[in-house]
Amino acid sequence: MSSTAHYPGVVLPTAEEEIWRYSRIEELSLDSFVAGSVENKVDAPADVASIVTQGAAVGECGVAMPIPVDAFAEINAIHCSGAHADIITVKTVRGKSYASPVVITRTLSVSGVLAAPRLIIDAAENSEVTVVEHFLSSDDVSSLIAPVVEIRAAQSARVTYIAINELGNKTWKIAHQQSLGERDSTTRLFTVALGGDYARVRTEARLVGIGATTQQVALYFADKTQMHDFRTLQTHIAPRTSSDLLFKGAVQDTAKSVYTGLIRIEHEAHGSQAYQTNRNLTLSHGAWAESVPNLEIETNDVKCSHASTVGPIDDEQRFYLESRGIHPDIAERLVVLGFFNEVLERLPQIDVVSGLRAKVAAKLHAGAQ
Amino acid sequence: MSTLKIENLVAGIPGKQILNGINLTLNSGEVHAIMGPNGAGKSTLSGVVMGKPGYVVHSGSVTLDGEDLLALPAWQRAQAGLHLIMQYPTEVPGVHLDDVIREAYTSRGRNTSTLDAEIVAEAARIHFDMALVERSMNVDLSGGEKKRNETLQLALLKPKFAILDELDSGLDIDALRDCARRVEAATQEDNLGVLVITHYARLLEELRPDVVHILAAGKIVKSGGPELADELETTGYAGLTQ
């Protein structure tokens, strides 16, 4: 247990705690960072420009995460009320659907800083909006980003959030995504993780209104010494709520990934359904992936399923393609891209997403076995 | 003209010999049928010739115009002109037919500029729904659709020789006719040589063989003309393999 000079009262977790098991938390020393900021670029076409506020007040925080869930959410909360506050809000108007996505690019360009930006998406009743948060840093930036996104979808609102991690290979990311779905709302949380040194996302979808629906979908691909770490929670509080989670990842070289997921169906949430699928490809002998699905069900009359796999590329699939005269390296590339297609096809077809397939392909190298 | 030659092929899986000396010579444009009961070694023969992992070759040779196929990995056997239609085509999620054919063309140094039109034309020829072409390879396809998909690939890739491993299994009569006729046409248009592996004679009513071989216990026990398949229909394997 170590306390830090910069964040009095904040106690970092240890790998002894189940939710930090397998993580690289023990390597982290907050003393090596000073509080800093990212550079923000907000791309909001005319129809969405009016709903975006940069530099919002700390009072806006807490719509979906009133109390910080761990040390890094605490650090983010401390930033929000201090000199390095970086709060962007997207607040929709009741009944309005916004065709253009809001695209926020967060760039870390300095080493040795801890940046903790916050994004708040507050969708009013029966409104619809898509927000992209794109994280970037160059390969020489050795810093830590601890972003928080809070999403509230009021009755019948429809929110799509897409996080894209293209951080450099020395940057750490410890992120939180927290959504709150009210009656008949739909929240969709997408994550595409290609970058970072150690990149962790804790994503929790809370279904608090009857009939609320959520989807959590991720694509992650780590190579070299990268590690991607996901902790997912599908929390059903109200009756007849539904959640669907699909996380697909690959590890190459000596990269690692961790997925742990919990479906929690609380006492009142009868008539709910929850699905959770995590699939992992290990593309090199030295690569490692862990997958731990969990269920906690406190009521009857629910439909739940979970599935999880970790393994190399299927030999039969590889042979099928090779039998068409395709070189094994290309066959492997096709199989991996096919594996990720299921996620890419679910993503909204917007500009920032359309280049992702090529970025995944570029990361795949020949002869990974 | 090309020749696929199998000589004294002895092979199997680790710890079990299944093929006990196969000899067969197939020339361009010819259709040879290999018929045999379950367990005769039919699928082992197709797997060994194509280079499917998991088989062991003890002795003998397989050559295509003198080139030693057994020394090549599967993808190079395919490039040398060999094609396999699998009994149970593998599902490859997220990979589409055009992706595969484009890579297969590229690896052969073929021009892909008219590929989309070629796919449309070939799909129409064997009554394969273009909506199914857009699907992931063999995922959520019926037995008949899978074999149409396989036949479509054969037609596009234009190999020198094709092995059809139980093309007829899981096929409805319409799909059987469409696939068989397309393969038959390829023997005339592209001079394709075909090795048809089947348990039943009904496929051979659509795809007439020049030679029929009876395979039993890993050996070809009898060879003859198409009448051998008819004979088999009446006598069954028991009469022919004794």
Q: What does the pLDDT look like over A261-300, one tens digit per residue?
A: 999 999 999 999 999 999 999 999 999 999 999 999 999 9
Binary contact (B93, A341; C-beta < 8 A): yes
Chain B residue numbers with beta carbons less than 8 Å from the beta carbon of A338 are 92-95, 99, 136-137
Mean pLDDT over the full length of chain A: 95
Which pLDDT score, from 0 to 100, does residue B238 have?
A: 78
User: Distance (Å, rounded) from C-alpha A53 to C-alpha A57?
Assistant: 10
CATH of domain B3-241: 3.40.50.300
Distance of residue A332 Cα from the nearest chain B Cα, in angstroms: 11
* Angle subtended at Cα A191 by Cα A188 and Cα A195, rounded to the nearest 5 degrees: 170
Phi–psi pair at A24, nearest 5 degrees: -105, 25
Residue B179 dihedral angles phi and psi, to the nearest 5°: -70, -45
Asked if B115 has any chain A CB less than 8 Å from its own CB, the reply is no
Other CB atoms within 10 A of residue A1 CB: 7
pLDDT tens, residue by residue, A17-68: 999 999 999 999 998 999 999 999 999 999 999 999 999 999 999 999 999 9
Structure tokens at A285: 């002998």
Residue A165 has pLDDT above 70, yes or no: yes
Q: Mind telling me how many Å the CA of A351 is from chain B's nearest CA? A: 21
Structure tokens at A26: 């023990």
Q: Over 70: is that where the pLDDT of B240 sits?
A: no
CB nearest B94 (choices: A330, A331, A339): A339
Identify the pLDDT of residue A324.
Answer: 97
Which of A100-109, A194-203, B98-107, B195-204 has the lowest average pLDDT? B195-204
Of all residues in chain B, the percent with pLDDT exceeding 90 is 81
The pLDDT score that the predictor gives to residue A366 is 45
Q: How far apart are CA B146 and CA B184, in angstroms?
A: 19
Q: How confident is the model at residue A226 (pLDDT cuts 50, 70, 90)?
A: very high
Comparing CB atoms, the residue among B90, B94, B99 nearest residue A342 is B94
pLDDT digits (tens, 9 = 90+) for A183-220: 999 999 999 999 999 999 999 999 999 999 999 999 99
In degrees rounded to 5, what are phi and psi of residue B116?
-60, -45
CA distance, residue A189 to nearest chain B CA (Å): 22
pLDDT of A367 > 90? The answer is no
Any A CB within 8 A of B10 CB: no
Contact A334 B99 (CB under 8 A): yes
- Given pLDDT bands bounded at 50, 70 and 90, which one contains residue A369? very low
A-contacting residues in B 83-112 (Cβ below 8 Å) = 83-84, 86, 89-95, 99-101, 103-104, 107-108
The string of pLDDT tens digits covering residues B58-112 is 999 999 999 999 999 999 999 999 999 999 999 999 999 999 999 999 999 999 9
Q: Does B78 touch chain A (CB under 8 A)?
A: yes
CB pairs under 8 A between A and B: 85
Find how far residue A274's CA is from the centre of its chain.
19
Residue A3, pLDDT score: 41
Sign of torsion, CA B97 B102 B107 B110?
positive
Chain B contact set for A337 (CB, 8 A): 94-95
Question: Taking CB atoms and an 8 Å cutoff, what residues of chain A touch B93?
Answer: 338-339, 341-342
Assess whether pLDDT exceeds 90 at residue A250: yes
Q: For residue A26, what are the contacts with CB-CB under 8 A and spacing of at least 6? A: A14, A15
What's the whole-number mean pLDDT along residues B164-183? 91
Instruction: Give the model's pLDDT for residue A254.
Output: 97
Domain ranges of chain A: 30-313
Instruction: Quote the CA–CA distance of A74 and A146 in Å, as a whole number.
Output: 10
Q: A365 pLDDT exceeds 90?
A: no
Q: Does B73 touch chain A (CB under 8 A)?
A: yes
Q: For residue A50, give Cα distances in angstroms to A80, A89, A90, A236, B109.
A: 22, 11, 9, 33, 54
Residue A257 has pLDDT above 90, yes or no: yes
**Nearest alpha carbon to residue A191 among A145, A134, A136:** A134
For residue A237, pLDDT beyond 80: yes
Token pair recorded at residue A2 = 């170590």
Q: A239-253, B159-173, B228-242: which has the highest mean pLDDT?
A: A239-253
Output the average pLDDT for chain B. Answer: 93
Q: CB of B193 within 8 Å of any CB in chain A?
A: no
pLDDT number for residue B242: 56
List the one residue out of A177, A37, A183 whose CA is nearest residue A110. A37
Quick check: A168 and A141 in contact, CB under 8 A?
A: yes
Closest CA to A340 of A364, A320, A316: A364
Tell me what pLDDT residue B241 has: 59
CB-based contact A175:A146 (threshold 8 Å): yes
pLDDT of A7 above 90 = no
Question: d(Cα A267, Cα A204) in Å, to the nearest integer?
Answer: 18
Strands A242-251 and A288-297: unpaired
Residue of B nearest to A345 (CA): B94
In whole angstroms, give the CA distance from residue B1 to residue A14. 72
Q: What integer is the mean pLDDT of A92-116?
A: 97
State how beta strands A118-123 and A87-91 pair.
Answer: parallel
Chain B: residue nearest A340 by CA? B94
The answer to whether residue A84 scores a pLDDT higher than 80 is yes
Minimal Cα distance from B101: which residue of A?
A324
Long-range contact pairs involving A27-31 (C-beta distance under 8 Å, separation at least 24): A27/A198, A28/A144, A28/A172, A29/A2, A30/A2, A30/A4, A30/A6, A30/A114, A31/A4, A31/A5, A31/A6
